[in-house]
């Protein structure tokens, strides 16, 4: 079919996506030209649709969605708005899903529609409005614009109302008149407005309504009645939240509340709590409730589960009951009181019992109702009411008082396993790594050929191409280098001693070839530790200091500022073993292999090993000697010192001095908290942040006396870095490197504490170690408690059993974590402490709580929550178990303020216990937080 000139001009504008030009064109067409072009419009759409592959076929619409026509959606909608003659066909065309953009532009479509006849335009607008399905419907902006332009009466269609509410309100919006009254009826309107608030300033819709009311454009009576109609229709609290706030904004006068008292009464029994509270407040404001209405309201409120509402009903009841004697509605008041006897809140039950006793004379005619309800009261309350009205008192079973068990005896460390090469698959763990190194050195000295055969059998004969790696940060790198030195010394020598991975070598060789194709030198690639999985490798940047004289003591040990001091100390040991192996100067035995699973070394065994080295004419390796000294038990060992002095070697003389003097004094450690303030690091102790900062950093500081041993002095040097990213693969070794100085290890764990985190097994090994447990160790334990790690309670019990739990410091650090970070909640913390107390650590937990409890109490102006009540209840239990005395000022302040809430009663109980009053759990306390 030949396209006439008008159709050709439309087609050209569409293909050019010229929205403005197309709109001008279709507006100027004559009726005949418009009709002729409209006949060709479907063909043009089909042509554009076929020009590109569609994304999706919609079975509901029977058409493709998101294909070629979709990219011309705006201009095709303009064409349809200007060419199609039927309102139904036009509305259907404009809402075709294939024309919809993510953010459809409607300006030119709206202009074209406005140029058509007014009645036709209004008909299209109403049809577009009826097609809206959701508040975020993509066709809603066009429908709303058409309604505004035509002044047509919007159809009764709930999604239209919610879509309108999603737009930004304007004082001059012509849709305010017809649509605002429908907000009270439309399904989903309240949920759409749920985030509207009055404080600190009214949000857009509430602010607009306030202006309309002030200007007299909307009658406040209509809005009040609309709120009540919406309340009476029912719904959940979220859907009704906006209408409660609108009602609060309208602030009914007493006479307005009184005129609507009947409706407010109807809301009391079943409306959501927020609505019922509003209704009760208006009933009080309106006053003039008759006796019958008061009885109805009290009965409805005491039946509700919310303690606040039930107490409100009892206040209404008590105000009326004084003059109820002899009146027929006294039976209804008594029935409401009996309902409160069975409430789940002890506070409500107690208030009801007091009212019954206080007004017993007035209630006497309906006393049987109360007599029958006595069994619903707790035993103590029931006995008091039964003494006046009669009835059966429910005798409650008294749980046997809990007595915490004694702390378990500390477990003795086991003997360290025998050295062996058969753990080559797990040498990256500290126990197996130490066993492998000990066996390797022993066999290298005694049976080099046997060692070669054993290692070749383990590696399966796979010997990858060797490439240099700097630095060598993984334990398995060094193990690989040692293996190659024994199994293939010629190739190892040719490679300059570069380490290898004994497992997966062929994969590594393939990887080297692949990275060369990518333009990366293999020296920039390091296999991860533990041994790599197929296809995995880590790329690191080449060291800019490589090759500079004096920057490293070994070409394969990283600089001190690249790894953590304990890790560097471990690498020094591995490096000296590798060097001695190549030089043929390995001693017959390593001095530092532990004798206990804690990492400790028996002094007598150390002396035997020193003697063996001296007998062989071999001087022990320096870092190995330093490690052995660090693994000695704390204190002086004069007998072993005497034996060592008689050996006569320099290493033995050094050991003798250490054994006799008990080693150097413990270093001083300190932890400083910092946070990011924009791009600036700030310390908390210098500039406290206004709120909780986004990112926390922990910086350890250490000061130690020089020992004269190079490796030890490097290990004990001041910490200059925040974090050491390359050290994480060997952090499980650290507790065993300094088993008698756990605070040093704890301090070096801190930079990784909050991210990525310190594993509980490492903290458990520090708990079994020796040495002072200071601020750093307390912070490690606090972290486990704050995040409610499954091992947290066991860690507290473990250290309490040993008598070295820094309980007060742990409590202070948990308080800091709660105050300074957003990641931790009170209830899980209380659960951990309850578990530890019930396992026998109650005395330690009490000491911890003396520092932590103030942080678990409500902040100034905050209403007590369940977590606060559980914390104080646990504190009262633990204080009773520990026989604690001495006031906690923050708790005493709550006791002085009074109150009958469960939180206030828990505070009073704790206060009584600490004052020596026994603090026996009361019936109203219920279950302990434990």
CA dist 725 and 752 (Å) reads: 9
Asked if residue 44 lies in contact with residue 9, where contact means CB atoms within 8 angstroms, the answer is no
Q: Confidence band (pLDDT; 50, 70, 90) for 473? A: confident
Asked if residue 10 lies in contact with residue 37, where contact means CB atoms within 8 angstroms, the answer is yes
Sign, Cα dihedral of 126, 130, 135, 136: negative
Q: What's the pLDDT score for residue 114?
A: 93
Asked if residue 629 lies in contact with residue 665, where contact means CB atoms within 8 angstroms, the answer is no
The mean of the pLDDT values for the chain is 84
CA dist 903 and 891 (Å) reads: 11
Residues in CB range of 763: below 8 A, 6 or more apart: 780, 781, 784, 791, 795
CA dist 307 and 299 (Å) reads: 14
Least confident of 44-58, 662-676, 686-700, 878-892: 44-58
CA dist 575 and 581 (Å) reads: 10
Instruction: With both helix axes pointing from N to C terminus, report the angle between 5-15 and 31-50 in degrees, rounded to the nearest 10.
Output: 40
Whether 196 shows a pLDDT value over 60: the answer reads: yes
Whether 537 shows a pLDDT value over 80: the answer reads: no
Averaging pLDDT over each range in 58-67, 383-392, 750-759, which range is the top one? 383-392
Rg (CA), the chain: 41
Q: Confidence band (pLDDT; 50, 70, 90) for 337? A: very high
CA dist 28 and 5 (Å) reads: 14
CA dist 187 and 190 (Å) reads: 8
Give the distance, in angstroms, between the CA of residue 548 and the centroid of all CA atoms in the same chain. Answer: 46
Asked if residue 805 lies in contact with residue 796, where contact means CB atoms within 8 angstroms, the answer is yes
Residues in CB range of 130: below 8 A, 6 or more apart: 155, 157, 160
Residues in CB range of 76: below 8 A, 6 or more apart: 14, 44, 45, 48, 69, 99
- pLDDT single digits (tens) 200-254: 999 999 999 999 999 999 999 999 999 999 999 999 999 999 999 999 999 999 9
Whether 567 shows a pLDDT value over 50: the answer reads: yes
Nearest to 655 by CA among 629, 634, 632: 629
Q: Phi/psi of residue 404, each to 5°?
A: -60, 145
CA dist 482 and 914 (Å) reads: 64
Q: Are strands 56-58 and 63-65 parallel, antiparallel or unpaired?
A: antiparallel
Mean pLDDT of 796-804: 96
CA dist 805 and 797 (Å) reads: 9
Q: Where are the alpha helices (DSSP H) in 631-678?
A: 638-645, 650-661
More confident residue, 100 or 468: 100
CA dist 495 and 489 (Å) reads: 10
Single pTM value for the model: 0.64
Q: What's the pLDDT score for residue 548?
A: 34
Q: Phi/psi of residue 57, each to 5°?
A: -110, 125
Residues in CB range of 751: below 8 A, 6 or more apart: 697, 698, 699, 700, 721, 722, 723, 724
Residues in CB range of 767: below 8 A, 6 or more apart: 781, 795, 798, 799, 802
More confident residue, 525 or 675: 675
Q: Confidence band (pLDDT; 50, 70, 90) for 133? A: very high
């Amino acid at each position: 079919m030949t396209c006439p000139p008008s159709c050709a001009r439309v087609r050209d504008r569409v293909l050019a996506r010229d929205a403005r030009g197309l709109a001008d064109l279709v507006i100027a067409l004559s009726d005949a030209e418009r009709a002729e072009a409209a006949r060709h419009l479907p063909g043009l759409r089909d042509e554009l649709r076929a020009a590109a592959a569609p994304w999706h076929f919609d079975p509901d619409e029977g058409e493709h969605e998101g294909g070629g026509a979709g990219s011309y959606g705006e201009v095709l909608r303009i064409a349809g708005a200007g060419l199609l003659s039927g309102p139904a066909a036009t509305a259907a065309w404009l809402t075709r899903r294939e024309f919809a953009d993510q953010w459809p532009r409607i300006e030119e479509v709206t202009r074209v529609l406005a140029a058509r006849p007014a009645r036709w335009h209004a008909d299209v607008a109403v049809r577009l409005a009826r097609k809206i399905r959701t508040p975020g419907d993509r066709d809603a902006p066009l429908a709303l614009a058409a309604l505004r332009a035509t002044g047509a009466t919007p159809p009764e269609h709930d999604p239209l109302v919610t879509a309108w509410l999603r737009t930004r309100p304007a004082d001059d919006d012509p849709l305010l008149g017809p649509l605002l009254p429908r907000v009270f009826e439309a399904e989903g309107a309240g949920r759409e407005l749920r985030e509207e608030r009055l404080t600190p300033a009214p949000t857009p819709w509430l602010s607009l309504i306030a202006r309309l009311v002030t200007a007299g454009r909307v009658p406040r009576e209509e809005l009040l009645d609309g709120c009540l109609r919406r309340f009476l229709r029912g719904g959940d609290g979220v859907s009704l939240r906006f209408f409660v706030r609108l009602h609060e904004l309208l602030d009914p006068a007493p006479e307005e509340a009184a005129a609507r008292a009947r409706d407010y009464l109807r809301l009391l029994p079943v409306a959501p709590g927020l609505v019922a509270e509003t209704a009760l407040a208006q009933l009080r404001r309106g006053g003039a409730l008759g006796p019958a209405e008061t009885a109805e309201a009290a009965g409805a409120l005491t039946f509700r589960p919310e303690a606040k509402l039930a107490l409100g009903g009892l206040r209404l009841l008590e105000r009326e009951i004084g003059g109820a004697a002899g009146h027929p509605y006294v039976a209804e008041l008594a029935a409401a009181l009996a309902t409160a006897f069975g409430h789940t809140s002890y506070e409500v039950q107690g208030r009801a019992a007091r009212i019954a006793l206080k007004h017993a004379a007035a209630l006497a005619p309906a006393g049987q109702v109360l007599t029958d309800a006595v069994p619903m009261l707790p035993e103590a309350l029931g006995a008091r009411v039964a003494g006046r009205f009669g009835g059966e008192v429910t005798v409650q079973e008294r749980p046997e008082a809990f007595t915490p068990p004694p702390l378990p005896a500390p477990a003795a460390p086991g003997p360290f396993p025998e050295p062996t090469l058969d753990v080559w698959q797990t040498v990256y763990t500290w126990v197996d790594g130490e066993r492998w190194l000990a066996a390797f050195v022993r066999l290298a000295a005694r049976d080099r050929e046997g060692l070669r055969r054993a290692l070749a059998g383990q590696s399966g004969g796979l010997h990858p191409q060797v490439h240099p790696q700097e630095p060598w940060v993984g334990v398995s790198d060094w193990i690989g280098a040692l293996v190659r030195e024994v199994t293939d010394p010629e190739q190892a020598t040719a490679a300059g001693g570069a380490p290898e991975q004994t497992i997966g070598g062929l994969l590594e060789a393939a990887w080297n070839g692949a990275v060369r194709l990518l333009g990366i030198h293999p020296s920039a690639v390091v296999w991860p530790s533990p041994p790599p999985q197929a296809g995995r490798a880590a790329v690191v940047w080449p060291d800019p200091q490589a090759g500079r004289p004096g920057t490293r003591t070994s070409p394969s040990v990283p600089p001190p500022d690249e790894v953590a001091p304990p890790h560097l100390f471990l690498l020094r040991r591995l490096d000296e073993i590798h060097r001695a192996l190549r030089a043929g100067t390995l001693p017959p035995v390593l001095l530092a292999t532990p004798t206990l699973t804690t990492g400790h070394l028996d002094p007598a065994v150390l002396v035997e090993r020193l003697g063996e080295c001296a007998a062989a004419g071999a001087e022990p390796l320096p870092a190995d000697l330093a490690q052995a000294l660090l693994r000695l038990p704390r204190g002086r060992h004069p007998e072993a010192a005497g034996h060592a002095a008689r050996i006569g070697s320099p290493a033995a003389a050094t050991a003798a001095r250490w054994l006799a003097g008990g080693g150097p004094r413990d270093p001083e450690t300190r932890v400083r908290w910092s946070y990011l303030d924009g791009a600036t690091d700030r310390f908390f102790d210098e500039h406290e942040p206004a709120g909780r900062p986004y990112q926390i950093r922990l910086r350890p500081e250490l000061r130690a006396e020089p020992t004269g041993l190079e490796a030890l002095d490097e290990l004990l040097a001041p910490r200059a870095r925040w974090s050491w990213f390359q050290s994480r693969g060997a952090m499980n070794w650290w507790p065993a490197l300094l088993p008698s100085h756990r605070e040093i290890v704890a301090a070096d764990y801190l930079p990784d504490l909050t991210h990525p985190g310190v594993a509980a097994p490492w903290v458990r090994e520090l708990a079994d170690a020796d040495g002072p447990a200071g601020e750093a160790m307390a912070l490690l334990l606090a972290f486990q408690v704050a995040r409610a790690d499954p091992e947290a309670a066991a860690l507290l019990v473990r250290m309490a059993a040993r008598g070295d739990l820094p309980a007060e410091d742990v409590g202070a650090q948990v308080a800091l974590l709660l105050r300074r970070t957003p990641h931790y909640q009170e209830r899980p913390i209380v659960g951990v402490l309850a578990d530890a107390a019930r396992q026998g650590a109650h005395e330690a937990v009490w000491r911890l709580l003396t520092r932590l409890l103030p942080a678990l109490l409500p902040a100034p102006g905050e209403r007590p929550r369940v977590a606060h009540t559980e914390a104080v209840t646990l504190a009262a239990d633990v204080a009773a178990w520990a026989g604690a005395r001495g006031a906690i000022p923050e708790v005493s302040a709550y006791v002085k303020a009074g109150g009958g809430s469960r939180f206030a009663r828990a505070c009073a109980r704790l206060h009584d216990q600490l004052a020596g009053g026994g603090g026996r759990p009361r019936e109203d306390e219920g279950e302990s937080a434990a």
